[in-house]
Structure 1
Amino acid sequence: MDGAPLYLEPHLEPPLASLLESAAFLHMLVDALGSPVNVVLPDQIARNVERFRTAYRRHNLVGQVFFAHKANRSSALVRRLAATDAGIDVASLAELQHALGAGFTPDRILATGPKSPEFRWLAARSGVTVSADGPGELEELDALVRRHGLPRVRVLLRLSEFETPGAKVLSRQTRFGTSIGSLDQLLDVVERHQETLQPIGVAYHLDTTSLDEKAIAFEGCLLAMDALRKRGFQPRVIDIGGGFGVNYLAHAAQWERFTTELAHAVLGKRPPMTWSGHGYGLRAEGGTLRGALSLYPAHRPVAGAAYLDELLSLPAPALGRPLGTLLLENLYDLHTEPGRSLVDQCGLSLARVLEVRRTDAGVCLVRLAMKASDASLEEHGVLMDPVLLPRSDAHAVTESTARYGGTERAAAARSTEATAGATSAGATSAGATSAAPASPTPVAVHLTGNLCLEADLITRRTVHLPRLPQPGDLLAFVNTAGYCMDFSATHAQQQPVARKVAVHRDGGSWRWCLDEQYWPIIRPGGQQI
């Protein structure tokens, strides 16, 4: 088992999977624009909006789906989103300017996050809704409106630190929002400033994936709405934020096997499987495993719109009835702020292989024309295998097909991998493709960046590829549009950040344009749609 490859095959859906089959097209993009290159699929964000709308309709609810803009700075994605009925959540002055310039009207924009005076002024001046974290922000908004003679500002009161009777549920501490225990003081402020502030509802902020914690917060918001109404206000909105998640991996068995083997490696029960024995939050003390795994739960069978559906179906902890039903009975609108889940399958990051060498210790290093910050999967705790796209077009097609199924050799390897995975974690998900090697001897490598810095590792873990890459080959890091693509990108050591392009399918071919040149009514070449 120790020597068996530990694959973490990415979950791929048709548009993104189809793009990976066009290796010659992707090589052409890197040839033209340099490495690395970020590729986005604007039409996919519209499909993801519809998935959330379907969950709304399933529970007979209305309200707005706001894309958390901080997840990706792409103009193409934002402009395509503006052509749907969705809204956008902006967390900075530049994001607000970007949203207005992309075609969003103020009634479809929500201003959240820490706000500079300039950000607050433009939000109030343009008439967007402001999600306020505390009484200080409400006081500043009131003064701004009075000083400049602005219209009354719509506000959401963002709450945190919810409690429930019975067993205490622990959640991570947050610096956002006002404790539910201080709600009365918050209501005192909006009551005092009714001429300038219009509280349309409440919101919550939680740094968790726990459905139970979110159900507690959801119920707390319902009770807070009652408190608003008792003060004479007419609130209509409950905003439950984001955190709906993405399923990054194709197989639960591979994820379970990897995390199990990682624990064994930290305890010294198997050879190391990371650079310098990095434990991703785990450590060994006296032969005992300590710490907590600091990784995103990369295999999530319930994520995105399905997660929202499950949350709305969950009974409120004290009130007992489903949360969606309670919203409907009170005729409240539901607002959501998905980030990474709304750009799921919306993009990939390409990097060219620069060098392949072995150290004296026999470790294979693959250096890429990319910095770790250009595809910050490790920083965000997201582990997935990259897809190898060899330089030869013919070879690329064969390699890609073998890598993801469709040949007899891949089917045989798929059976072997499934058996190995089932040994530690049960059967793989039905109908999914496999991370089958393209040859009987896959290679274990470490992926490094192009900075003169020891810490510039694209992956800390050992990655298994179907064959040894060659200089000029490409590695495609898929599904990076949510936070991993450009959230942390820098110009360190004067190395360039990734150029970004938007692509779409035109008949049997892929077409592209620079991200900033994309508009939903014009395709590359000037053709209006």
Structure 2
Amino acid sequence: MAVIPFPGARGLTLPAHPDPWLDTLLHGGLPHELAYAFGGPFHLLLPERFDAGVAAFRAALDEADVDGRVYYAKKANKAAAWIERCAAGGTGVDVASLGELREALGHGVRGENIVVTGPAKADDLLRVAVLQGCLIAVDALDELDRLITLAATTRPARLLLRRLPPAQPHSRFGMDDAELHTALERCREAGDAVRMEGFSFHLSGYAVRPRADLAGELVDMCLTARALGLRADRISIGGGFAVDYAAADDWERFTHEQSPADYHAGKSFATSDFYPYHSPVAGADALRAILAARPGGRGAPLAARLRDCGVILLMEPGRALLDRAGCTVFPVQGVKERDGYGILTVGGTSLSLSEQWFNSEYLPDPVLLTDRPVGAPSPFRACVGGATCLESDMLTWRKVALATRPHPGDLLVYPNTAGYQMDSNESPFHDLPLPPKVVVEAPGGRTRWRLDHRPPA
């Protein structure tokens, strides 16, 4: 088995951070065995990496001596493996639909460990969430009214009031100052029908300072709510913890050098179209930075304010918990040459690599696997298309640099795809089956695999 990396000397590249354990796994015969068994593309899941991600966030809370709760944002990946890990380890789950809520409950996550987000939640979702004792982030006054009415005939509803970020006034999520004032009065008047436990926000982007500033504001709002007799002992800062896919130098070079000439058909991407594939502060380190920041640039750090005010910090990372927790494997079906570069067609579609369906590109370099003898390197540049009849079905518009010409039966592996890439937009277009998800674990150093307990739709 040969693993053929992309040499930096030829073509525009963005190598992912080294991953020795994944390299070892790919060097074995497992990928080709699975490709033969499934007859098409598949996803590899590495749940031990998910466990490590959760542990890192908890460690950041412990280091700051902050009482906090981690909720996995389920929308980042549909696999059951992550929810099973949450149930076993007491990690919370963030859901936004009745289907997601049922999945979490069905895999053993207790209702009290589930937070229900999303705008304008349907009555059926609210009903099950109340009955199961979930924490509900209320997005609007009419939703609050429906929730109070429902709770009056079932059981008390646990809720957070979602704040419209002042820095993002055009966001469709959350309530402004006047609406929050009304919401607090309605919670007070509802009496025992509701347990108003605090506030939350949905903030776009990955910057540390805006999250710390808004978190500090929510702490003050908790004190105001307590003066009205409400519980208000926790805040949620949502997700938005960046993932660092690539080295700083590689990312800077890529963003400065990329041009339409690097892409099939002269495709053009602005740097702003891309996810920030390098982040100097990512994952649990971003949480550390938020806790160390002084809200508004003054006073005590956020961690101290949380402790002093007895406020619990909730967070809902998705992509950050799935960092390096999976990859996607596509079999090469055909190779042609055009205008001095190759066009690869792989089994499957770009619907299983979701970034391309948001007018963007998934940039970490894929890796070529072959089980045939490979001689001296013979550089070959190629874009990568899916096996559909759509011109736009491109996994990689970029002419990626391969060390050798691929052949049908070789495999192309996209690294670090567990977070939002694998299944956000998957569809059985052309009646192509959805790629199965394969859970890979190494108990006692022995590599074992099984299919994920949630079969493809």
| TM-score of Structure 1 vs Structure 2, range by shorter chain | over 0.9
Which residue number in structure 2 is paired with residue 151 of structure 1?
Answer: 155
Once residues 297 and 77 of structure 2 are traced to their aligned partners in structure 1, the CA distance between those partners, rounded to angstroms, is: 38
Letter in 2 for 1:217: L
Match of 1:21 in 2: 27
Alignment match of 2:364 (pick from 369, 375, 384)? 384
The equivalent of 1:240 in structure 2 is 237
Of 336, 347, 350, which aligns to 2:326? 347
Q: How does 1:298-317 map to 2 (within 5 A)?
A: 298-317=277-296
Choose which of 78, 81, 88 in structure 2 pairs with 1:76: 81
TM-score by length of 2: 0.93
CA distance in 1 between counterparts of 2:144 and 2:393 reads: 43
What's the CA shift string for 1:413-458, capped at 9, x where partnerless?
xxxxxxxxxxxxxxxxxxxxxxxxx83x422110000110010000
Which residue pairs with 2:453 in the alignment?
516
In the alignment, what sits opposite 2:383? 446
Match of 1:255 in 2: 251
Q: Which residue of 2 aligns with 1:37?
A: 42
Supply the distance in 1 between the matched residues of 2:90 and 2:34 (Cα, whole angstroms). Answer: 32
Residue 410 of structure 1 corresponds to: none
Aligned to 1:302, what secondary structure does the other structure show?
coil
- Determine the C-alpha separation between the residues in 2 that align with 1:193 and 1:294: 46
State the match for 2:185 in structure 1: 188
Conserved? CA contact 2:382–2:402, under 8 Å: yes
Counterpart of 1:110 (choices 115, 135, 144) is 115
- CA distance, structure 1, for counterparts of residue 295 and residue 273 of structure 2: 29
Per the alignment, residue 425 of structure 1 pairs with: none
1:369 matched residue in structure 2: 347
Structure 2 unmatched ranges of 5 or more: 1-7
Structure 1 Cα separation of the partners of residues 357 and 42 of structure 2: 19
Question: SS of the counterpart of 2:327?
Answer: strand
Question: In 1, distance between residues paired with 2:155 and 2:82?
Answer: 31
C-alpha contact (below 8 Å) 1:364/1:444 kept by paired residues: yes
Alpha-carbon RMSD across the aligned residues, in angstroms, is 2.1
- 2:149 is aligned with 1:140: no
Residues 128/508 of structure 1: CA separation in 2 closer, same or farther (3 Å cut):
closer
- Which residue does 2:5 correspond to in 1? none
Matched residue SS, 1:178: coil
Confirm whether residue 489 of structure 1 aligns to residue 426 of structure 2: yes
Query: For the Cα contact (< 8 Å) 1:171–1:213, is it kept in 2?
Result: no
* 1:457 counterpart = 2:394: yes
Secondary structure, in 3 states, of the residue corresponding to 2:275?
coil
Q: Deviations over 1:36-62 (max 9, x none)?
A: 101111222111110001100110011
The question of 1:176 aligning with 2:173 is answered yes
Deviation string, structure 1 residues 383-428 (Cα, Å, up to 9, x no partner): 1111111133x76xxx9xxxxxxxxxxxxxxxxxxxxxxxxxxxxx
Q: 1:161 aligns with which of 165, 174, 188?
A: 165
Q: 2:336 maps to which residue?
A: 357
Does structure 1 residue 277 correspond to structure 2 residue 282? no
CA contact (8 A) 2:79 2:454 kept: no
State the alpha-carbon separation in 2 of the partners of residues 181 and 42 from structure 1: 44
**Equivalent residue, structure 1, for 2:3:** none
Between the aligned partners of 1:513 and 1:137, the Cα distance in structure 2 is 42
Q: For 1:19-44, what per-residue CA distance to the aligned partner results, in whole angstroms no more than 9, with x for missing partners?
A: 2232x111111111221101111222
CA shift for structure 1 position 106: 1.1
Aligned residue among 310, 318, 325 for 1:331:
310
- Look up the SS of the partner of 1:446 in the other structure: strand
Asked whether 1:198 is paired with 2:195, we answer yes
Q: Displacement, 1:123? A: 0.6
Q: Deviations over 1:447-501 (max 9, x none)?
A: 0001100100001222112221111000111111111011110111212111111
- The letter of the residue matching 1:242 is G
Kindly indicate whether the alpha-carbon contact (under 8 Å) linking 2:116 and 2:137 is maintained by their aligned counterparts in 1. Answer: yes
Q: Distance in 1 between matches of 2:453 and 2:445?
A: 24
Residues 44 and 346, structure 1, Cα contact 8 Å, conserved in 2? yes
Q: Distance in 1 between matches of 2:95 and 2:416?
A: 22
Contact 1:160 1:217 in 2 (8 A): no
Alignment CA distance shift 1:38-1:240 (3 Å): same
Q: Give, in angstroms, the shift of residue 377 of structure 1.
A: 3.4
**Which of 206, 210, 222 is matched with 1:209 structurally?**
206
The offset of 1:276, in angstroms, is 2.7
8 A Cα contact 2:83 2:109, kept in partner: no
Amino acid corresponding to residue 249 of structure 2 in structure 1: A
For 1:505 and 1:318, the matched residues in 2 are separated by: 46
Residues paired across the two proteins, number: 445
User: Could you tell me how far apart the structure 2 residues matched to 1:515 and 1:454 are?
Assistant: 32
Could you tell me the percent identity over the aligned residues? 33
Secondary structure of the 2:355 match is coil
- Structure 1 residue 328 displacement after superposition: 1.1
Deviation at 1:113, TM superposition (A): 0.8
CA distance in 2, matches of 1:81, 1:60: 23
Match of 1:241, SS state, is: coil
Cα 1:307–1:273, aligned 2, differ >3 Å: closer, same or farther? same
For normalisation by structure 1, the TM-score amounts to: 0.80
For structure 1, which segment, 502-511 or 235-244, has the greater mean C-alpha deviation from structure 2 after superposition?
Answer: 502-511
SS at match of 2:136: strand
Matched, 1:6 2:12: yes
- What is the letter of the counterpart of residue 287 of structure 2? L
